[in-house]
């Protein structure tokens, strides 16, 4: 997660990964990964707290994720594939 270009590029995608999980190949800082991240059963506030902590740690871009933002992403239909890569 340190200085992750994948994470920092798209907060909605990061929220979706926490809410819906992630599978398939992704590229992070030039390195390919192909694993499964299971969805997490978190409230909007819990997901916002975790992601805000991650975004404000390890050299990431200081994004603040609000419970309202998590709620908005949660309201969208989950992608058929866990996330776009």
Say if 84 falls within a structural domain.
no
pTM of the prediction? 0.86
pLDDT digits (tens, 9 = 90+) for 46-76: 999 999 999 999 999 999 999 999 999 999 9
| Domain boundaries, position 41 | 5-75
56-63: which pairs have CB atoms within 8 A and are 24 or more residues apart? 57/1, 58/1, 58/2, 58/3, 59/2, 59/3, 60/1, 60/2, 60/3, 60/4, 60/7, 60/8, 61/8, 63/8, 63/11
Number of domains forming the structure of the chain: 1
pLDDT digits (tens, 9 = 90+) for 3-32: 999 999 999 999 999 999 999 999 999 999
Give the pLDDT score at 75. Answer: 96
Q: What is the CATH number of the domain that holds 10?
A: 1.10.760.10
Give the pLDDT score at 85. Answer: 46
């Amino acid at each position: 997660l340190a200085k992750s270009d994948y994470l920092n590029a798209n907060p909605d995608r990061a929220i979706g990964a926490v809410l819906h999980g992630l599978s398939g190949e992704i590229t992070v800082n030039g390195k390919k990964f192909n694993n499964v991240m299971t969805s997490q059963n978190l409230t909007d506030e819990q997901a916002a707290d975790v992601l805000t902590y991650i975004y404000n740690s390890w050299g990431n871009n200081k994004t603040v994720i609000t419970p309202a933002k998590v709620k908005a992403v949660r309201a969208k239909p989950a992608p058929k594939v866990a996330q776009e890569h």
